[in-house]
Structure 1
């Protein structure tokens, strides 16, 4: 009878982690967890059969016990305690066999061996008939139901506690029986196995039974209050056990592959189940114990785990006797106790491995007594706690493991597959521990220096899922620098550089390698000795630099960055720059990078000039490329970040030289730009010029001619002239508002409506009839159009947007309020007004902004004689400016602010006639406006050398004008409505542009003058208004005006109120 029981796997652990303090431990599974159930059952059956034979035949001995012989410890399938017993010790619990429901020989799903199935309980029976009733009281199965009639199977809360641990380990027998129990006839022992059957049974049975257990726990509120933890080990690779060592290769390879596939899919299912369980009951966890990965490492490298023989078994399971040179004195050297089960030493290791996995995944501290295998697959993991101990950490699996603790483990770190992510060197343990890379990736999330020794061997993961052909890959996050310094790099494995950050090699290189690939970011070779690599490939997104020496052929499809800043980089071999390749040339005032090649050099791609703030390039000449043999072909293009520099390349058979010439006028197009260019040409020096060097550097990094020209404009401060346009337009708005008031008074609209006024135009509505009569010459008194001795107060609010286009394009807006009072003085009107206004301008580039508050005092008056009138207005305005210029070009980002003050004087006079045009009245007039707009000098702050010391500036606008008003009033019910249309043309004989005279703070004593925006020569204003009046006391009106010149448009919306008494 072929009797086999659960899979083997695992290895020893000595030393140990301390207790997780679970409240209880319950176990289901097979012979790896069984502590005597199968032995007791088979011994009892043997005794029963022996009794039957004695009664029927008069004698006989039947021994069907499993396991066989006294060397097995008290019915266990090992020479001592099994892993679940060790777990009790680690948690300070007394082992209770009643809580271990595992049976040797158990499977999940269907069993092939009907004899053993008649004697033991498989996983589903253990869970449904034995375990769940003790949790929820619900009996299952025939015998369980009968038993439930007489006894309540549910146990009290103390049997579980607030934090129970459940272990479920199954699956080895499923694969074993697919080979051993396939057919009873030995001739067919190796016949066609279908390993999908055990795989599917495990992938179905394990999650399903876990869900059943969890469902039972969810019925109880008095247990598992802190969550339930499940330990689920992976299936050991039974193909590596002594039981199958003599199997044909195709059987062992197929069996091993099926186990690996099963474990990976089982992990994925368990991770999903973990999410489900933790959502159902907070604190609940499924801890996957990857004993398959542990066993694989133990068998490949047994000594660090305390074993010397991981191939042979210590005891023969058939005879129960020692085998293969094993005995009581050396059993600790063996991984396998019998052909299928581990020794108790291996069980101890498995228990400690489970405990370590639990601790580290939970973010708790742990000590490593033997190498810990972290097989991180499918999902990334983070070990947040501190890890200590004398042993090492081994990373396998394609996913990422983040080490975040201040770790002190001394055995080093080995990365075979996937990624280890760290933020500092202490994450990798004590400095004495070597970092070994055998196909894995080290990813740094922060900059730090690593002084531990590093070993890069050939990859062992090349053919694995997401594996790598490179022995070591260094993935540096963007903006970080990983420096290897004061250490030695051993091994000849190929190296890859990925990530957008920098890897700076300052190590001693003990050996060379075949291939180095710079795929992303920058690899700086600054090693203390030669960096030997048969081939170094710099890919499109990669860069290679430093001041070291590479021995080998370098092929550049990305960037070569010689030196550290300015320096020399040596290639002891051939060099090929492909079409996509770039050589980045860093030049300083008196030196430049040098790339020296001892072999043949083939050029192509581009040369890119790099300039630092301290680089002062005027007309220097540098040799930057040399070859001991020959230089073939030429660069396709030269990329220069400065539109103010020109360069020329000079080729010889063994060198390439570059010469520069500087002229700030190169991109200049406008007069202002030429003014600034001339200033900078005169001022530029190769000697240090303080902060002005940063401004020059920024100019040299504007790249394009357009951006270079825009930078000249930004430096000039010409945008400060925008304030003059907005100020002028607002002064004109204020002056026209008082002219509107005088015209309103002249029309007679201060008077009450005449009795009997009809609803038609032309009657004496609001005095319009009198105005028409007066305009026709039927004058009564000299003041016929002026209110008789009545004083008025009035107010107006207005505002609106504007736009200046052309060379100095900007948007503007303004708001204001005017309050005035006046009264008749004989045939004249005299008044006074107070005004407040706000203005704002914003350049099209959004980099220049000016705000201002204006305070105005005005007097006005009007004289009327028959049809002739003369209006006059005079005003003084105080303006408080706040200027803000953002200087953003070539990497420079500064803001210059200033607070100039303004003092404006405005005088306007209009003379005209009042004429009748049918039912309308017209006022043609001639005028002369003079505006003296004075902005005081000021100094900007905040932009360093680019701030301006601005001189005071005065604009004089002398504007004769011609215009006309058309007005009309008519009765509308109880109200008088008075529409008005007007238009006026101004011809500016004064300054048509603003002028900014200033000097840069970084170049004192070098003044320059540039022009800014202005009104131009020609300006027109059109407008319309509508007034509403019911009595002679109150009048309301709304008004719209539009002003326009060649480059300027302004819109003004007004509301006003006049009160008379």
Structure 2
């Protein structure tokens, strides 16, 4: 008598690197009886049937193969049999027991479980559930007879092609069936069936197949051995199924991969690579239960993805969880942290993403390639940082220890972290540190109150330092970094120099402010010294913003806003002048001093002509002036009222007087706070209209009260509000002439030319509320001289007049908006900054409407727009006019 499992289980097959066919989960062999072996289990993922027990004796039934193989029949002494269980498309059927306990007939083998996708598909893209069927139980033998073998579990999925596959759901292989029991002195228990494989890749070409798993893949659990009345004649347990099997395979995992559970504990491999070129890439969220084995010994092990995770390095090695890998890489864009101890010989390449080594890996050499970052406080072997790679021990001022040599390649970066307390990252090298020409130090300084001269040791090499860094930069805006060397060390110094603030500037305005700070740096006292010390702690983003915040740039824009307000007033007066001769919204229905409704009468038409007129208009507007690389964009709005009265000396000549109030507010992009202006104007206006030709003119004076409110925010200091107030005197004048051409009845075109000018003189003033950052602002003068060429198109319909104005406007005066000022903390050190620069050329667009609403009373509305690239000025008028 003997017990025999004729074919090896999957575990044995998978450990044979030269296997000629895909791995398979096998049915358990039937239990033996006197003189006869049990029937062999069925093999192959296609579901081969189990062999029958020898018919002439009491041999146990063969187990069914995975894939739905039928269990073999149990043999009997008298030729009777116990039928095996049928294979299933899902679970296999159980083998039949002997008819009764006294029958000398072996148990039937259990049927094999079906595969989750039958005979296999070219690819798998599973988001649901794929399940292999469980193997059937082997039947129990009769007297002196063996038990049937358990059926093998079905595979979760079989992939036959080379295109990429994926799983975001669940793929579960079937469990092996239990072996049947043997009886009496000669009956052996049947063997348990093997668990199915989770996913089997049958690719036999050199093409590498990629499988991405974000779900769960599990091998089937092992079937238990059948018992026997004699303890030494128990069957053998089946083998648990492997999670994933294949060759020339890349497995990318952020889900769960598990081998099936063996009887008595432990699990099968999670992944077995059987040959070719294979890669395992772990990503954050990855859970692996069981070993991952590359039987070639040349597998590639990667840590990738875009999120952060960690790995204990003790899980890598010939006797560890991850076996048979010779190439180790960090890829992706995430951060992986290596912990624990593994001092065996390895080579890691940081190709991209961040690799943080906090454990001990003294036998591992590291290479950092372009796009990769190596950091940590651990101990590693010789390290080379190639062009585009970065080494940065950490952001908590730690030391990276290198046992061996360190090479900082050309084009690579060392990025030590430092703080104001004098702490820094460091690299300690037991061998030689070689720094190649073209390498850079990029200092990552934390916020804090820095001294004006701090030195740090950032690299120490017992074997000496060879070469120097070609460049050093810092994220601090105003402390200049420099490097120095001795035989074994590299030192970093952050120093306040004579050009520190200018060096941190990014625009001309910032440079002008920085120059003052540099000049005053050595002699600064009191609050101004406090401000300078706070500025030293700012990085390259905060620093330039702080220079802008203290510059007073918004004040430089008062001239532009005042000019826009006067332009709105002149447009309102222009509307009144146009009513005298039918230009832009003038029409002909209620012409001044005319007795007829159609405006065609002379004074002789009416014994008492209407020589007097009065009007009132609401004035509003908004606009913006596009900034540039030096100054930020200005935005403003305004609103007010204008009134006037006029007298017609004749049908051709009219003269009037008026006044206005306009209030405006301005904002500058990127600056906190705003500025306001209140302007009161008085003016004279006149029109000469001898026929189709007209000449209009006006002149006026404006008194403006300009107020600024600047919020100054510097990290590390309490916010400050700088408040300033001053007055401006403005003179404005406008002259326009045109000639009316009738096109068709009720439609006319009037080509025109206009000259419009203003000069605004703003008094100097001194701010309050911001201590040493208050500005003493010098007086400034803003001039504008604009010429406009265009045409009005007017039409009269019933009692309504409509006008459209189109033209081109050119600014002839200087468009610069300079402001000269000095800080209260640095008196006498003046600087000049510039506000947004108006465009010289603009398209002029206007629309006007007027209608009679009562006897000798008209309602009018008007829009005047000046539109240029990125900038615009929009004025609105709504008013009433009466004549008598």
In structure 2, the residue matched to 1:983 is 754
Aligned residues: 684
In structure 2, the residue matched to 1:531 is 361
In structure 2, the residue matched to 1:631 is 465
Secondary structure of residue in 1 paired with 2:501: coil
In structure 1, the residue matched to 2:540 is 700
CA distance in 1, matches of 2:336, 2:457: 28
In structure 1, the residue matched to 2:829 is none
CA distance in 2, matches of 1:842, 1:787: 57
* Post-superposition CA distance 1:817-845 (Å, at most 9, x none): xxxxxxx53xxx32211234344555457
In structure 1, the residue matched to 2:159 is 267
Secondary structure of residue in 2 paired with 1:904: strand
State the TM-score, normalized to the length of structure 1: 0.52
Task: Quote how far apart the aligned CAs of 1:1007 are.
Answer: 2.3
CA distance in 2, matches of 1:606, 1:29: 59
Distance 1:1004 1:90, change over 3 A: farther
Distance 1:766 1:406, change over 3 A: same
Answering whether residue 284 of structure 2 is matched by residue 445 of structure 1, we say yes
In structure 1, the residue matched to 2:425 is 593
* Post-superposition CA distance 1:266-297 (Å, at most 9, x none): 7325999999xxxxxxx9x9x89799xx9xxx
In structure 2, the residue matched to 1:1037 is 803
* Post-superposition CA distance 1:864-898 (Å, at most 9, x none): 446765433321124466x4744xxxxxxxxx665
* Post-superposition CA distance 1:613-635 (Å, at most 9, x none): 42555322223222223222222
Task: Quote how far apart the aligned CAs of 1:908 are.
Answer: 3.0
Distance 1:167 1:440, change over 3 A: closer
- The partner residue of 2:492 within 631, 655, 658 is 658
CA distance in 1, matches of 2:83, 2:777: 88
CA distance in 1, matches of 2:332, 2:568: 62
Answering whether residue 333 of structure 2 is matched by residue 482 of structure 1, we say no
Secondary structure of residue in 1 paired with 2:370: strand
In structure 2, the residue matched to 1:806 is none
In structure 2, the residue matched to 1:1018 is 785
In structure 2, the residue matched to 1:1027 is 794
Answering whether residue 740 of structure 2 is matched by residue 968 of structure 1, we say yes
Distance 1:393 1:628, change over 3 A: same
Gaps of 5+ in 2: 1-5, 12-24, 29-41, 63-69, 76-80, 98-112, 123-127, 136-154, 201-207, 223-239, 816-837, 856-884
* Post-superposition CA distance 1:361-400 (Å, at most 9, x none): xxxxxxxxxxxxxxx9654345449999898965544243
- The partner residue of 1:400 within 237, 251, 259 is 251
In structure 2, the residue matched to 1:816 is none
Task: Quote how far apart the aligned CAs of 1:1024 are.
Answer: 3.2
In structure 2, the residue matched to 1:739 is 574
* Post-superposition CA distance 1:305-340 (Å, at most 9, x none): 999xxxxxxxxxxxxxxxxxxx998977xxxxxxxx
Secondary structure of residue in 2 paired with 1:733: helix
Distance 1:654 1:380, change over 3 A: closer
| Preserved contact between residue 979 and residue 1025 of structure 1 (Cα < 8 Å) | yes
Distance 1:1053 1:384, change over 3 A: same
Aligned residue runs from structure 1 range 579-978, under 5 A: 579-589=410-420, 590-604=422-436, 605-617=438-450, 618-642=452-476, 644-662=478-496, 663-666=500-503, 668=505, 670-671=508-509, 673-675=511-513, 678=516, 699-701=539-541, 712-713=547-548, 716=551, 718=553, 722=557, 725-726=560-561, 728-745=563-580, 824-825=611-612, 829-840=613-624, 843=627, 854-865=638-649, 869-879=654-664, 883=667, 885-886=669-670, 898=673, 902-910=677-685, 914=688, 916=690, 920-923=692-695, 925=697, 927-930=699-702, 932=704, 934-935=706-707, 937=709, 949-954=721-726, 956=728, 958-961=730-733, 963-968=735-740, 970=742, 972-973=744-745, 975=746, 977=748
| Preserved contact between residue 383 and residue 406 of structure 2 (Cα < 8 Å) | yes
State the TM-score, normalized to the length of structure 2: 0.61
In structure 2, the residue matched to 1:85 is 85
| Preserved contact between residue 434 and residue 465 of structure 2 (Cα < 8 Å) | yes
Aligned residue runs from structure 1 range 313-324, under 5 A: none
| Preserved contact between residue 172 and residue 220 of structure 2 (Cα < 8 Å) | no
Secondary structure of residue in 2 paired with 1:951: strand
In structure 1, the residue matched to 2:337 is 504
Aligned residue runs from structure 1 range 419-498, under 5 A: 441=280, 443-445=282-284, 460-462=295-297, 467-468=299-300, 473-482=301-310, 484=312, 495-498=328-331
Secondary structure of residue in 2 paired with 1:478: coil
| Preserved contact between residue 602 and residue 633 of structure 1 (Cα < 8 Å) | yes
CA distance in 2, matches of 1:481, 1:167: 32
CA distance in 1, matches of 2:367, 2:331: 13
In structure 2, the residue matched to 1:73 is 61
In structure 2, the residue matched to 1:1054 is 846
Task: Quote how far apart the aligned CAs of 1:667 are.
Answer: 5.2
Secondary structure of residue in 2 paired with 1:85: coil
Task: Quote how far apart the aligned CAs of 1:660 are.
Answer: 2.9
Distance 1:455 1:787, change over 3 A: farther
Aligned residue runs from structure 1 range 178-577, under 5 A: 267-268=159-160, 345=191, 348-349=193-194, 352-353=195-196, 378-384=210-216, 395-397=244-246, 398-400=249-251, 402=253, 404=255, 411=266, 441=280, 443-445=282-284, 460-462=295-297, 467-468=299-300, 473-482=301-310, 484=312, 495-509=328-342, 511-527=343-359, 530-533=360-363, 535-550=365-380, 552-557=381-386, 558-577=389-408
Distance 1:575 1:357, change over 3 A: closer
Distance 1:535 1:676, change over 3 A: closer
Secondary structure of residue in 2 paired with 1:353: coil
Task: Quote how far apart the aligned CAs of 1:859 are.
Answer: 0.6
Secondary structure of residue in 1 paired with 2:417: strand
Distance 1:474 1:672, change over 3 A: closer
Task: Quote how far apart the aligned CAs of 1:532 are.
Answer: 1.5
User: Going by fraction, where is helix more abundant, 1 or 2?
Assistant: 1
CA distance in 2, matches of 1:640, 1:232: 64
CA distance in 2, matches of 1:682, 1:847: 25
Task: Quote how far apart the aligned CAs of 1:33 are.
Answer: 4.5
CA distance in 2, matches of 1:996, 1:1043: 36
CA distance in 2, matches of 1:860, 1:595: 81
